[in-house]
Amino acid sequence: MAVEITFDERSWLGWLVKVRILIITFLVGIELAITRLTPSLLPEREFISLIVLWYTLSVFHIVLHSFWQEHRPQAALQVLTDLALATGMVYVSGGIDSSFNFLYPLIIVVACILLPKLWAYLTAALAFVLYGAVVELEFFGVIHSYSSTHAGFKTLLAILLINLFAFLAIAYLASRLAARLRQVDVQLHDTSGALESLQALHENVIRSISGGLLTTDLEGHITLANPASQTFLERREEDLLSQPVARLFLDPLPSPASSSAHAEVRYRTATGELKTFSMISSPLVVPERGRLGWVYSFDDLTEIRRLEREVRLRDRLAAVGRLAAAIAHEIRNPLSSIAGSVSVLEGISNLTEEQRALVQIVTRESERLENIISDFLAYAREKRYGFQQQDLIPLLEDTLTLLESSTPTEGVRVQIVRRLEVERAPALVDGDKIKQVFWNLCSNALRAMREGGSLHVSLRGVGEYWVISFADSGHGLSQQQMEKIFEPFQGHFEGGTGLGLAIVYQIVQAHEGKIMVRSVPGQGSVFSLQLRRPDGEAEGAELETQRGTADSERSAALAVGAGGGPSRG
């Protein structure tokens, strides 16, 4: 099967136009130097006129090449004009004595490159005819001769035969070499195209894989970061390149040289979010060049680890709930007896002040224990929900209005800032239970701001969820507190039972929602509640821009905790 050979004739034609001017300039310089340094019969006027004509035609060919797209006719025209002008150069420089007959082989080689094989032999034949005509016409005196010698007829015949053989041999060899040149050029073009396609394929594979990929040099500086790694790390490629890879992560990276080339590492984003990655390292080895660097592939385990914590939390809460129902009933009966007996003792008139104080302590602690048991039973008891589509905004406004009218701590001023980005927020919820969630989160925020501050409450649509955020400027939470925040009896406020956020978590789970907390000690906390939109609201809704106030932007920079993360009590 014959392989179709393509050849970039246009580039070669442009090359010929430029080289022609260089050759003409070289010839002018050499010939003029010869005429100045040695006696010569060269007619300078005719020679200069011929050179000017050749320059003019070269400029014409340049202009023609810029807009005429037919390459082969242009090549034939240039070859014919070059033959004519080369013949003129041979004539004025002495005919049989001319040293410019080397121009003919050059023209024949160009014809072999730019034109079909037949044109190579035609060009050689035409060159011989033109050269022979000039020499013979001078020999027989038909035209004026500029030659300084007069060769005999046999010498003339020998010169013509030698030139005929030389022109044909050059045409044959040049055509073979030109054919080979075409094949090599096409093969190089095909190989270059295949290499570019392979490189593009590899780049597309790297760009398309869902896992993060970083490559470094031997010193550990990043040389490549695929789009997935930029998404995971929330940084642009130009911010990652040339950076030491070890400084990006909070934990040591696995060593490719050791047997343990796999590890989990933590990373903190520019917004303060803490992520967990599964990291695998390996050496970057290129055949025949050896090791050039290191390859780090990683995947985001943050959501998986959050779900694992959530599952563990649910298991613990379920176990505690089952235990609560049994223990609470067992404690309540003797507690009632104790409270009744203490009431009788308190009625005795002859008690001393110290004894009466002790009786009052027992009464208060019994009441507190009763409250704890009541809350515990409320947490453990199976809840019934009356779901119906309601607007979240009035529920939230009712809670905030009640919060503003409640009696504040003397000397403590808390500012409540609303930022509701929508006019309606319909959702399928139990209104009373959701208001209980709102109240619990707001009251915890107020208790966290003992010396006053601001509570920013926002509601916005993000994808298929309504996101309600409560951002306070209180004392914040430690990492240890966040890890157990939604577990029972993890309260951190004086007088609290530690069950408020556990009940909140239960209610949110029953609504198939999510609750998350971000906090940094001393910089406040943000509780974000996500409730699903109805299908009609979620479909076709574009992801809304998170605008937030300055405080919400500040709180977004706080560390992110998962659903199994922290809370206050």
Quick: pLDDT tens for 189-219. Answer: 777 777 777 777 777 778 878 888 898 998 8
CATH code of the domain covering residue 477: 3.30.565.10
Domain boundary among 345, 380, 415: 380
Q: Would you say 469 and 527 are in contact if contact means Cβ atoms under 8 Å apart? A: yes
Q: Would you say 492 and 532 are in contact if contact means Cβ atoms under 8 Å apart? A: no
Average of pLDDT values for 295-308? Answer: 88
The pairs formed by 123-129 with CB atoms below 8 angstroms and a separation of 24 or more are 123/79, 123/83, 123/171, 124/167, 124/168, 124/170, 124/171, 125/167, 126/83, 127/83, 127/86, 127/167, 128/160, 128/163, 128/164, 128/167
Q: Determine the distance from the C-alpha atom of residue 499 to the mean position of all C-alpha atoms in its chain, rounded to a whole number.
A: 45
Residue 1's pLDDT is 34
365-400 core/surface letters (b: 16 or more CB in 10 A; e: else): ebeeeeebbebbeebbeeeeeeeeebebbebbeebb
Residue 408's pLDDT is 59
Co-location of 319 and 398 in the same domain: no
Establish if 35 belongs to a structural domain.
yes
Establish if 3 belongs to a structural domain.
no
Domain boundary among 283, 300, 317: 300
Co-location of 75 and 60 in the same domain: yes
Domain boundary among 300, 323, 341: 300
Query: How many domains, in total, are found in the chain?
Result: 4
Co-location of 328 and 356 in the same domain: yes
What is the maximum alpha-carbon separation in the chain?
165
Instruction: Please indicate whether residue 283 or residue 58 has the higher confidence score (pLDDT).
Output: 283
Q: How far is CA 8 from CA 109, 115, 116, 250, in A?
A: 17, 12, 14, 56
Co-location of 397 and 329 in the same domain: no
> How many degrees, rounded to 5, is the angle at CA 465 between CA 467 and CA 491?
45
Establish if 242 belongs to a structural domain.
yes
Establish if 203 belongs to a structural domain.
no
Neighbours of 298 (CB within 10 A): 24
- Tell whether the model's pLDDT for residue 374 goes beyond 80: no
- Range of lowest pLDDT (123-137, 342-356, 378-392, 500-514): 342-356
Establish if 1 belongs to a structural domain.
no
Co-location of 343 and 458 in the same domain: no
Co-location of 19 and 45 in the same domain: yes
Co-location of 218 and 121 in the same domain: no
- Quick: pLDDT tens for 215-227: 899 888 999 898 8
Residue 536's pLDDT is 54
CATH code of the domain covering residue 357: 1.10.287
- Range of lowest pLDDT (129-138, 227-236, 478-487): 478-487
CA distance 120 to 117: 5
- Quick: pLDDT tens for 549-566: 334 433 333 333 333 333
**Owner of token pair 């080689």:** 109
Co-location of 415 and 436 in the same domain: yes
Expressed as residue numbers, the domain containing 76 is 9-190
Establish if 534 belongs to a structural domain.
yes
Residue 35's pLDDT is 67
Establish if 205 belongs to a structural domain.
no
Co-location of 502 and 525 in the same domain: yes
Establish if 207 belongs to a structural domain.
no
- Quick: pLDDT tens for 257-268: 665 678 889 998
Co-location of 400 and 445 in the same domain: yes
Co-location of 48 and 18 in the same domain: yes
Co-location of 313 and 295 in the same domain: no
